[in-house]
Amino acid sequence: MTSTTAQRTRWAILGPGAISRDFLAGLHASRSGMLAAVGSTDPGRAERFAADAGAPFSGSYDEVLARPDIDAVYVGTVHTTHADLAIRALEAGKAVLCEKPASPTAAEVDRILAAAEAADRPFVEAYKNRFGPWADALRQVLADGAVGRPVRVEAAFGFDAGTRSGRLFDPALAGGAILDVGCYPVSLAVEAASASRAVAPDAVVVADAAGELVGGVDGESRALIRFGAVEGALATSIVRDLPSSAVIHCTGGAIELPDAWGGRAESPTTIVVRPAEGEPTVVSVRAVQPMAAEADALSRALAEGRREAPEMPWAHTRAVAAALTAWRSRIVPSAP
């Protein structure tokens, strides 16, 4: 049993980088989480992060994972290290919240989920737009079927990174737009396609894809991907800004998302349901700290003895991984 029975999940952060600092802010805003440790390959970085955050322990990954007073870990390292760290944490009996994407390849994602099943511990992929009131409202709109069933998702996520160096442009670290932010439109398309039935990985087909390589990684790309009966017209970039809105076209109208992704500190608040006939309905919800909502979702799964969070079930993680692997292989010849 864990300390979650006392309504506090004791967290360790693995990887004291920028996104982990954002997660720390979410943890402070969460209902049930507290930071207990920080792990890194660099003891000095871990110690400084822990001191700034008020965490009582810092050390190597193995030292952190060996501690019995850690219930859950947040994996905030580079993409290529996610699978190894997540599996080590699961085998150590910890619940895992892993920053997206869970891993650069579908095969590695399968390894992670097999480890979670064997350990009987929760594993949740941290897509921040999947958690909180806005995400709940979108799922309810999809389930209600007021504008029919989804048939096409048009979505993009892109920004200009400015520099053309660092992690985002490093092929050895699985850099590129598809894995960094293209995964969000893919995740939305999977959710839309799953509104009426599950989407198996073998039902994901990349019908068309084009892109531009920048320094050996996909600087930008567009793709038409079929998720069963739903197609996604998706775009991504790390060399130019793209609109953050999205549209889910349905058999009886459309669902418009003026801000589909939100930020690391605040979730979206508005959904427009536009029937083919009649007036549109605006659904407005309060903004929350989405990374706090992620942490609380994992805490609930742990406290209730579940391996999955309904916000991002394993079937969705597998389908997203299948799409990302296939899309990226079409653009980056050296991608596994």
Distance CA 245, CA 112 (A): 32
Identify each DSSP E strand in the chain by its residue range: 9-14, 33-39, 57-59, 72-75, 95-99, 123-126, 150-158, 204-214, 217-227, 230-237, 246-250, 253-257, 270-275, 281-284
What CA–CA distance (Å, rounded) separates 103 from 75?
11
d(CA 327, CA 94): 32
Provide block-wise average pLDDT over 10 residues at a time, the chain (336 residues).
Answer: 61 97 97 97 96 97 98 98 98 98 98 98 97 98 95 98 95 98 98 85 93 97 96 98 97 98 96 97 98 98 97 97 98 91
Tell the burial category of 296 from Cβ atoms under 10 Å away from its Cβ (0-12, 13-18, 19+).
Answer: buried
Nearest residue to 25 (alpha-carbon basis) of 333, 288, 287, 229:
288
**pLDDT confidence of residue 1:** 36
Q: Which two tokens stand for residue 15?
A: 């990887």
What's at 199, amino acid-wise? V
Other Cβ atoms within 10 Å of 78 Cβ, number:
16
Residue 332: its pLDDT value, please? 96
pLDDT digits (tens, 9 = 90+) for 284-316: 999 999 999 999 999 999 999 999 999 999 999
Nearest CA-CA partner of 330 in 242, 142, 154, 204:
204
Q: Residue written as tokens 């596994």? A: 336
User: Considering the entire predicted model, what is its pTM?
Assistant: 0.96
Distance (Å) of CA 185 to CA 83, 158, 169, 192, 320: 22, 10, 20, 11, 10
Nearest Cα to Cα of residue 187 among 57, 324, 286:
324
Q: What is the pLDDT of residue 197?
A: 78
Contact between residue 221 and residue 236 where contact means Cβ atoms under 8 Å apart? yes
What's the pLDDT at 201? 79
Residue type, 209: A
- Per the DSSP assignment, residues forming a β-bridge with 270 are 284
Burial environment of residue 106 by CB neighbours within 10 A (0 to 12, 13 to 18, 19 or more): buried
Euclidean distance between CA atoms 78 and 84, whole angstroms: 11
Q: Would you state the pLDDT for residue 4?
A: 44
